[in-house]
Amino acid sequence: MYRVKKDRLTELFTSVSKVQDLFLPLRKCDQTNYGLWTPEETFDLDTLKTVKSAKDCFFPQSEVLYRCRKEDGKISIDPQQLCDRPFVVFGMRACDVKAVEVLDRVFLSDPVDSFYKARREHGTIVSMACHEPEETCFCRNFEIDPAAPGADVETWLTEDSLYWKPLTEKGEALTAAAEEFLEKTEDGDKTVEEEQTAIRGIVEKLPLSHLDLSRFKQENTMELFDSPLWEEMYKPCLACGTCTFVCPTCQCYDIRDFDAGKNGVQRYRCWDSCMYSDFTMMAHGNMRTSQMQRFRQRFMHKLVYYPANNDGLYSCVGCGRCVSKCPASLNIVKVIKKLGGEA
């Protein structure tokens, strides 16, 4: 166990950022989101949840795939270079760390997504325990421990220090690179254990920590799919897609072409939402012709389809972003409660 004094964090971040890119929660315009840190930026480790997760660091909201150009009757294709520079994502919470596991199962399964794979190979994740979980958190239902967030390095932020524990080879390498600022501590384990006990005590008392997920099983797929409750639940939905864009596990994207001028075309991919009417649009139209069907698809995938194909791993990590950001106060918790209590 190591410790770095809180007032030396800027020095630590400056040192790390000189040799690799460093992504931190940054405070801008009264909101906190992950971004590339420079000494001119203001980092914010006290905000529990960023508006969007750190998913952007591995699966950007928009990224170029390749560029095409036609010149003198010949077409040239210039593929986008894959990530080849190491980087660190610092301060990810346990729910967002678990979300990366969900994304891994999608993008690292055959056929492997080379863009995502390159970023995962070059990225080091430093997690941070949730000092004081909020009422919108419900990660406990998905066997996530906010007191032991995992990743390459685990950290715990107390009043005056950041406690640091490497867990992987990447974590050990980062620890060695930051040894100037880290000091071994004999009482660190005791301090961390006390912090973990306090965190788990808070989580146990949260109003959404004891949801009933027992009905969301593969054998109940058709029963859940055909439930008449979907017609009642979807009606407040505005189809704005906010829930999908703040969700750390949503992985749907579209591929589009952009006219770059001078006989050039730029092909890129960008996040998409299953809540949109043109999502998965084909020549004959769309398989899901109503908002109810699109609404149902989102939550069936999170709670039934994905775990059925991934050893029981849910495609929800209980971060609570959709709970706090949905303009219609409609979210996965309400779906779980409604369908879970239908019997």
- Residue 17 located in a structural domain: yes
Residues 163 and 298 in one domain: no
Count of domains for the chain: 2
Q: Which of 144, 173, 205 is the last residue of a domain?
A: 205
Tens-digit pLDDT string for the chain (343 aa): 999 999 999 999 999 999 999 999 999 999 999 999 999 999 999 999 999 999 999 999 999 999 998 888 888 889 999 999 999 999 999 999 999 999 999 999 999 999 999 999 999 999 999 999 999 999 999 999 999 999 999 999 998 999 999 999 999 999 999 999 999 988 778 999 999 999 999 999 999 999 999 999 999 999 999 999 999 999 999 999 999 999 999 999 999 998 887 778 999 999 998 888 777 766 666 677 788 999 999 999 999 999 999 999 999 999 999 999 999 998 999 999 999 874 4
Residues 9 and 158 in one domain: yes
Q: Which of 205, 237, 266 is the last residue of a domain?
A: 205
Residue 181's nearest CA partner among 17, 56, 339 is 17
Residues 99 and 27 in one domain: yes
- Residue 96 located in a structural domain: yes
- Residue 258 located in a structural domain: no
Q: List, in sequence order, every beta strand (DSSP E) within the chain.
A: 2-5, 21-28, 31-36, 62-71, 74-79, 87-92, 123-128, 153-157, 161-166, 183-184, 253-261, 264-271
Residues 171 and 228 in one domain: no
Q: What b/e string do you get for 216-254 counting C-beta neighbours within 10 Å, with b at 16 or more?
A: beeeeeeebeebeebeebbeebeeebbbbbbbbbbbbbe
Instruction: Give the per-residue pLDDT at 343.
Output: 40
Burial (0-12, 13-18, 19+ Cβ within 10 Å), 44: middle
- Residue 259 located in a structural domain: no
- Residue 178 located in a structural domain: yes
Residue 126's nearest CA partner among 104, 157, 99, 97 is 97
Distances (CA, A) of 138 to 88, 198, 306: 27, 17, 19
| Residue position matching structure tokens 């609404």 | 295
Instruction: Give the per-residue pLDDT at 142.
Output: 96
- Residue 24 located in a structural domain: yes
- Residue 45 located in a structural domain: yes
Residues 298 and 170 in one domain: no
Residues 158 and 239 in one domain: no
Residues 130 and 223 in one domain: no
- Whether 83 contacts 25, CB under 8 Å: no
Q: Domain range spanning residue 108?
A: 2-59+82-205
- Residue 68 located in a structural domain: no
Residues 89 and 153 in one domain: yes
Residues 157 and 287 in one domain: no
Instruction: Give the per-residue pLDDT at 283.
Output: 67
Instruction: Give the per-residue pLDDT at 82.
Output: 95
Residues 245 and 189 in one domain: no
Residues 196 and 248 in one domain: no
Residues 300 and 199 in one domain: no
Q: Which of 205, 234, 265 is the last residue of a domain?
A: 205
**Taking the CA atoms of the chain, what radius of gyration do you get in angstroms?**
22
Instruction: Give the per-residue pLDDT at 55.
Output: 96
